[in-house]
Amino acid sequence: MNDGAARQHGQQGKTTKQRSIVLNGRALVMGDDINTDLIIAGKYCKSAEIRELARHVFESMGPNRSQKLRKGDILVAGRNFGCGSSREQAPLAIKAAGLKAVVASSFARIFFRNAINIGLPVMALPGPRKRIIAGERITVDLGKGELAVARTNEVVKGRPMPPFLLDILSDGGLVAHLRKKLRSEKKRR
Amino acid sequence: MHSTISEKILARASGRERVAPGDIVDARVDVALSHESARLAIKAFREIGVKKVWDRKRLVLLFDHRVPAECEETAVAHGMIREFVKEQKIPNFYDLNEGVCHQVLPEKGHARPGELIVGTDSHTTTHGAFGAFATGIGATEMAAVWATGKIWLKVPETILIRTEGKLGKWVAAKDLALFLVGKLGAEGAEYRAVEYRGRAIASMSMGSRMTLCNMAMEMGAKAAMVEPDAKTSAFLKGRTSGKLSPVNADRNAKYEFDITIDIGKLEPMVASPHSVDNVSPVKEVEGTEVQQAVIGSCTNGRLEDLEAAARILRGKKVPRGVRLIVVPASRETLLDSMRTGIGGRSARGRCESILEILVGAGALVPNPGCGPCLGAHQGVLAPGENCISTTNRNFKGRMGSDGARIFLASPATVAASALRGVITDPRKVMK
């Protein structure tokens, strides 16, 4: 999608500490405009109790959702994933359900930030659904911004995640990242 | 210099001379707004391990989503947030008394031109009506803002939306907002800032400008704004102290693209289930039965919205089988609606206030707050029911049952539809 950005990242990779997040799993495929109410309805957002969120995730999408969610799956979706509310329960519910990552053609911005902040890997790629059959094995590499499909040996290239966001994700989210940062700042003083 | 409003505000907030779209800046936050979502933020703040918030005067906290508490769990959450407010000595705390955060923030003078506002609510974009760069964030990110006073932001491209002409009678800012969401799509402004400009925008009330900036969120906008002017200063006068630093876009500011809308031709619009960009003129869905009609929320719960409804409902009664729920956006709005009339007299020769007219027509008026918009209480929908609402989202399951259908429209269209029991173009009721 963006060769310039990829090259630039490659150069940066030599000078800065290389972080990498590589995940593989079964593809759980969904459509466009999956909004935060579909991910987790407002009525379940009184708290952020992990088990409660996991129980009701994607409930409004109905029983005829073609594919059952399994722990360890990687969610593959279309455009504008996570549009709607700023509720952090949306990425929390996806994480609580045991999904490893979300790959989509595009994300709503608050969802994207929230996901990284709570430590759920997310990656935007051009048209991932066109290349993947529901249920097949895929591998995502956030540092490279790539998705690999085992069946076809195809590698779909997106934009690599900026190193400072990879750092937040590798630390497990913004809270852990900030704790670490503040601690090291204190030490330096 | 050729900067947009967003670029100027983000440059100032990050201590740079100039910024360009795509730059990632570390920006200093002027106002940090939270409602019930503060509960999650407090948890994260404790985990970060910082004792005190960076600047207690820059936090604004209140409750609006579930007020008064609709269940024990919420009551406990409210209590926990009150404790935090006390512990951190936060002066700008409004508890559950004042109304929807996006109405209360300007009323209490915290929405100021040229400033950077972040809020743990997606509709924080509303405050761009005052010339601020205002954007929604999540709870964990808010905890980081409380701890450091800063946030990383990618400088967005800006889209310029110009208007030509004048809105027709019974056509409102909400109709323009819905039209734009329909035209640009639910992600048409994703990651971008939107600037609204034109004579019609300049002649709009602050309330209408807020409706526009609020609904920009439904096109995915990161922020939306109107250039501050004399109306902005007039609204803020007496509500805020300290010097204002308004910014305008440069004449030769660079926009990603601009569109011009001839709003004179605009009709009353509606967004049909289950997506915000499923927009058409009201006439295309006219005749659809509705069991519930809602006027309120951060989008359309202001005095001018209640007034439009009152003009349609004066001397009339909402039929049996239709529940009309009117939720004033704030206590100030509620008080104003008690004190303000619309001219003319009722059949009994009295001058009725807006509130009297609405209640007289059969409206239920719950306390100010978010009301039924997010499906927590005060008007949850059953399977098979249709609701026409002035709120901002018609997602499946948003206001209760997954089997209910939500249509979004202007206050005038909602009032006219409540009166007829079917979706109705207000121009047909008010010939």
Q: Which residue, chain included where needed, has tokens 């290239």?
A: A157
pLDDT tier, A64 (very low <50, low <70, confident <90, very high otherwise):
low
pLDDT at A63: 57
User: In angstroms, what separates the C-alpha of A86 from chain B's closest C-alpha?
Assistant: 5
In the predicted model, is pLDDT for residue A189 greater than 80? no
Residue A41's domain comprises 3-188
Same domain, B358 and B380: yes
Quick check: A178 and B397 CB within 8 A?
Answer: no
pLDDT tier, A17 (very low <50, low <70, confident <90, very high otherwise):
low
User: In angstroms, what separates the C-alpha of A153 from chain B's closest C-alpha?
Assistant: 32
Whether B390 and B366 have beta carbons less than 8 Å apart is answered as no
Q: Which of B26, B45, B64, B140 best tests the A interface by mutation, with the highest count of A CBs <10 A?
A: B140
Same domain, B225 and B287: no
Residue where a domain stops, chosen among B262, B297, B327: B262
Q: Which of A35, A40, A118, A161 best tests the B interface by mutation, with the highest count of B CBs <10 A?
A: A35
Same domain, B340 and B311: yes
Same domain, B131 and B9: yes
pLDDT, tens digit (0-9, with 9 covering 90-100), for A20-50: 899 999 999 999 999 999 999 888 887 778 8
Task: Return the closest-CA partner of residue B124 out of B237, B20, B256, B35.
Answer: B35
Same domain, B318 and B394: yes
In the predicted model, is pLDDT for residue A10 greater than 80? no
Residue B177's domain comprises 5-262
Separation CA B425–CA B429 (nearest Å): 7
Quick check: B191 and A109 CB within 8 A?
Answer: yes
pLDDT at A133: 93
Residue B80 maps to which CATH number? Answer: 3.30.499.10
Quick check: A46 and B71 CB within 8 A?
Answer: yes
Amino acid B321 reads G
Separation CA B294–CA B307 (nearest Å): 14
Quick check: B48 and A37 CB within 8 A?
Answer: no
Among B43, B141, B393, select the one facing A174 at the smallest CB separation.
B141
Interface check B55 vs A, CB under 8 A: no
What are the structure tokens assigned to B53, written together?
């918030």
pLDDT tier, A14 (very low <50, low <70, confident <90, very high otherwise):
very low
CA Rg value for chain A: 17
Amino acid B215 reads M
CA A187 vs CA A35, A164, A180, A184: distances in Å: 43, 21, 11, 5
User: In angstroms, what separates the C-alpha of A157 from chain B's closest C-alpha?
Assistant: 20
- Tell how far CA B1 is from the center of its chain: 32
Interface check B393 vs A, CB under 8 A: yes
pLDDT at B387: 98
Residue where a domain stops, chosen among B262, B286, B318: B262
Quick check: A108 and B187 CB within 8 A?
Answer: yes
User: In angstroms, what separates the C-alpha of B90 from chain A's closest C-alpha?
Assistant: 22
Q: Mean pLDDT lowest for which of A60-64, A156-160, B385-389, B416-420?
A: A60-64
Interface check B137 vs A, CB under 8 A: yes
Separation CA B426–CA B290 (nearest Å): 15
pLDDT at A1: 35
Q: Which residue, chain included where needed, has tokens 């009709």?
A: B267
* Sheet with strand B405-408: strands edge to edge: B279-281, B269-271, B405-408, B386-389, B292-296, B323-327
Name chain B contacts of A79, Cβ cutoff 8 Å: 187
Name chain A contacts of B138, Cβ cutoff 8 Å: 86-88, 110, 113-114, 117-118
Instruction: Tell whether omega for the bond before B110 is within 30 degrees of 0, i.e. cis.
Output: no
Same domain, B108 and B190: yes
Could you state, in chain order, the average pLDDT of each consecutive group of 10 residues for chain B (431 residues)?
94 97 97 96 96 98 97 95 98 98 98 98 98 97 98 98 96 98 95 96 97 97 97 96 94 96 96 97 98 98 98 96 98 97 79 96 98 94 98 95 97 98 97 77
- What is the DSSP code (8-state) at residue A48? -
Among B122, B140, B398, select the one facing A118 at the smallest CB separation.
B140
Residue where a domain stops, chosen among B247, B262, B277: B262
Say which residues have a Cβ less than 8 Å from residue B79's Cβ, sequence separation at least 6. Answer: none
Quick check: A48 and B40 CB within 8 A?
Answer: yes
pLDDT tier, A4 (very low <50, low <70, confident <90, very high otherwise):
very low
pLDDT at A94: 97
Mark out chain A residues that contact chain B at CB-CB < 8 A.
33, 35-38, 41-43, 46-48, 59-60, 62, 79-80, 83-88, 106, 108-110, 113-114, 117-118, 162, 164, 173-175, 178-179, 182
Quick check: A46 and B393 CB within 8 A?
Answer: no
Q: Indicate the pairing of strand B116-119 with strand B133-136.
A: parallel
Same domain, B169 and B284: no
User: In angstroms, what separates the C-alpha of A180 from chain B's closest C-alpha?
Assistant: 9
Same domain, B414 and B274: yes
Number of H helices, E strands in chain A: 7, 7
CA B401 vs CA B72, B331, B384, B391: distances in Å: 22, 29, 8, 17
Quick check: A88 and B73 CB within 8 A?
Answer: no
What's the domain count of chain A? 1
How many other β-carbons are positioned within 10 Å of the β-carbon of residue B407? 23
Same domain, B252 and B319: no
Quick check: A37 and B398 CB within 8 A?
Answer: yes
Same domain, B108 and B238: yes
Same domain, B310 and B249: no
pLDDT, tens digit (0-9, with 9 covering 90-100), for A96-144: 999 999 999 999 999 999 999 999 999 999 988 888 999 999 999 999 9
Same domain, B178 and B290: no
Q: Which of B23, B395, B402, B408 best tests the A interface by mutation, with the highest count of A CBs <10 A?
A: B395
Quick check: A182 and B220 CB within 8 A?
Answer: no
3-state secondary structure chain B: CCCCHHHHHHHHHCCCCCCCCCCEEEEECCEEEECCCHHHHHHHHHHHCCCCCCCHHHEEECCCCCCCCCCHHHHHHHHHHHHHHHHHCCCCECCCCCECHHHHHHHCCCCCCCCEEEECCHHHHHHHHHCCEEEECCHHHHHHHHHHCEEEEECCCEEEEEEECCCCCCCCHHHHHHHHHHHHCCCCCCCCEEEEECHHHHCCCHHHHHHHHHHHHHHCCCEEEECCCHHHHHHHCCCCCCCCCCCCCCCCCCCCEEEEEEHHHCCCEEECCCCCCCEEEHHHCCCCECCEEEEEHHHHCCHHHHHHHHHHHCCCCCCCCCEEEEECCEHHHHHHHHHCECCCCCCCCCCCEHHHHHHHCCCECCCCCCHHHHCCCCCCECCCCEEEECCCCCCCCCCECCCCEEEECCHHHHHHHHHHCECCCHHHHCC
What's the domain count of chain B? 2
> What is the separation, in whole angstroms, between the first and last Cα of chain B?
50
Number of residue pairs across A and B with CB atoms under 8 Å? 120
Residue A84 maps to which CATH number? Answer: 3.20.19.10
Beta bridge partners of B93: B61
User: In angstroms, what separates the C-alpha of A115 from chain B's closest C-alpha?
Assistant: 9
